[in-house]
Chains A and B, each alone.
Chain A
């Protein structure tokens, strides 16, 4: 090891400086500033004068039924998307990992949603979900089901959003799972076959445990991503948080408070609530992961 000298350190800091400036300016400063803003009770945005500091914003959130609804919707969304997305993408990854025809075609096909813009995707899905002309209702109609008002019925807005998000997230998760599957030595599979394990048993006893580090990574990334859902809602419901705010999530709530209502203190406080929720959940996951993902 080279000894740390001032000369070498300063040189290294110089190389790090450009990236550091950008991170401090656009990430670290806003994080600190928004924490401070969340404690501004009375604030003149244009002249940047704070008249009063306190916990009023947090108090407001504590009592605001809209915020509670946003929280509730976000949890419903996370629970609706993450497990289904992980299970489905793992299933597809296992299929794509086996020797099938046109494998590379399918790999590309599943990855396309991930690289396509959310707005473009949402326009297509708005058509698919359309009550009168949509593909979904057409298919349902073939089975004799009544048309569903996917995007306009408050009851169906959240399921529609969940379906779109699962589909949108598949590509990325599949790629990660495929990489994880290819890291598993084929010998374990062979050994399990020699030990008399059939296909299903090999999956549950060998593949699944050996894939657990990947599953762990995907679940953390998906949960964080799902808590932050915004663009899909904005695009799918045409700039509305769903009919009768039925798809209002925490980030959408923050967006509305900030840009529409100019309640900067409340928006910042809500952002910090979301941050703390994600932080605690990630800590829990890390704790579980440490105990389950060891071999």
Chain B
């Protein structure tokens, strides 16, 4: 059913758009919200802009929408500069954080609004609006006013309105933050489904890493107006380009240990233990970052560090242990069957995949892991 909708909707081609930002900057009085952004968003992809609050992600989105006029740089849609083009002429659909449904119009009138503004004949607009309502599964609510809808239904209406006039670009500004946990999960799958069905270039702003990781083709991670990393989500998790990226992603967060690099090993500060690693530098301070799931309970014959178990939590299928290594508390995922109790002294091996080295300033240090372990 919905695939018919798709074909009728998007049969007139040329709707998927490539977005490029060149040296894009935004300054508010004395704050630089966005600092010389350069990136390209490929057509038909869903890209998330992720970051802590105040990192400039919404500002970037509002500049693409044309609501903010950038103070420097250019936004290009399919190679055309958007500088000075007002929002109403950019051909963008946008879903706002609080949906911004027009309270005096019914669901159907809301969805029709962008079509009527384009002077589409009443009958045709009605048909299209009904199609869109079907696509987001709210056609049974067509005559309700927004005040009579639940959060999820309002969200669906807002998406239908944004999609109604076949936008070249679809923008989401933290669309799920007003929904409860279960609905959030449902709506994010829904957004992904609709986006993949329509293949419309989509930009999705969120501060929730799980949201960004689960629905995006690529993630832009920002901090203080600067892009930290732009890559597919799994790559961002596995190969963080700096300590901020490593620490922002993952829950519980990545473990950080102070250490120093010397010949063939990284010695861990406050202990006499070390990890065999080949890296440039002599007595250079570094930060050892290890994902909680990269630890495992090791055998005698492989590389391991010795830690004291302080606390064991069993949460459903997981077991999280808080362990002490030379004064630093680490969070460690252990296997369910591991027989570990608070007060034990245990051996922990490290998988090479979740192990990273950074300079104290947070830059990535290239290294060669040279320890022997049973698990990869």
- A196 & B165 in contact (Cβ 8 Å cutoff): yes
The segment out of B84-92, B186-194, B228-236 that lies at the interface is B84-92
A198 CA to B66 CA, complexed, in Å: 14
- A210 & B104 in contact (Cβ 8 Å cutoff): yes
Knowing A195-B161, A196-B117 are in contact, say whether A190-B100 is a contact too (CB < 8 A).
yes
Residues of B140-161 at the interface with A, using a CB-CB cut-off of 8 Å, are 145, 147, 161
Residues of B within 8 A of A210 (CB): 103-104
Main secondary structure of the interface of A (DSSP, over half): helix
Residues of B within 8 A of A209 (CB): 102, 104
Which chain A residue lies CB-closest to B158? A191
Which chain A residue lies CB-closest to B90? A194
- A188 & B100 in contact (Cβ 8 Å cutoff): yes
Residues of A within 8 A of B96 (CB): 187, 190-191
Contact for A198 among B88, B92, B94, CB less than 8 A: B88
| Distance from B62 Cβ to chain A, minimum over Cβ atoms (Å) | 9
Residues of A within 8 A of B66 (CB): 193
Q: Is A206 an interface residue (CB 8 A)?
A: yes
**Which of B92, B104, B165: most chain A CB closer than 10 A?**
B104
Residues of A within 8 A of B117 (CB): 192, 195-197, 201, 205
Knowing A191-B94, A295-B147 are in contact, say whether A196-B104 is a contact too (CB < 8 A).
no
Q: Is A260 an interface residue (CB 8 A)?
A: no
Contact for B113 among A185, A195, A198, A295, CB less than 8 A: A195
Q: Is B114 an interface residue (CB 8 A)?
A: yes
Knowing A205-B113, A295-B145 are in contact, say whether A194-B88 is a contact too (CB < 8 A).
yes
Which chain A residue lies CB-closest to B89? A196
Q: Is B93 an interface residue (CB 8 A)?
A: yes
- B100 & A191 in contact (Cβ 8 Å cutoff): yes
Residues of B161-187 at the interface with A, using a CB-CB cut-off of 8 Å, are 161-162, 165
Which chain A residue lies CB-closest to B87? A193
A249 CA to B66 CA, complexed, in Å: 55
Q: Is B65 an interface residue (CB 8 A)?
A: yes
Residues of A within 8 A of B94 (CB): 191, 194
Residues of B within 8 A of A206 (CB): 102
Q: Is B242 an interface residue (CB 8 A)?
A: no
A191 CA to B157 CA, complexed, in Å: 13
- B93 & A194 in contact (Cβ 8 Å cutoff): yes
- B92 & A194 in contact (Cβ 8 Å cutoff): yes
Chain B residues at the A interface, C-beta cutoff of 8 Å:
65-67, 86-89, 92-94, 96, 98, 100-104, 113-114, 117-118, 145, 147, 161-162, 165
Q: 8 A-B Cβ contacts within 8 A?
A: A185-B100, A187-B98, A191-B96, A191-B101, A192-B113, A197-B113, A197-B117, A210-B103
Which 9 A/B pairs are nearest by Cβ-Cβ distance? A295-B104, A195-B114, A191-B100, A187-B100, A194-B94, A193-B87, A196-B117, A209-B104, A197-B117
What would 10 more interface pairs be, CB under 8 Å, given A191-B101, A192-B102, A197-B113?
A187-B100, A190-B67, A192-B113, A192-B117, A193-B66, A194-B92, A195-B88, A195-B113, A195-B114, A196-B165
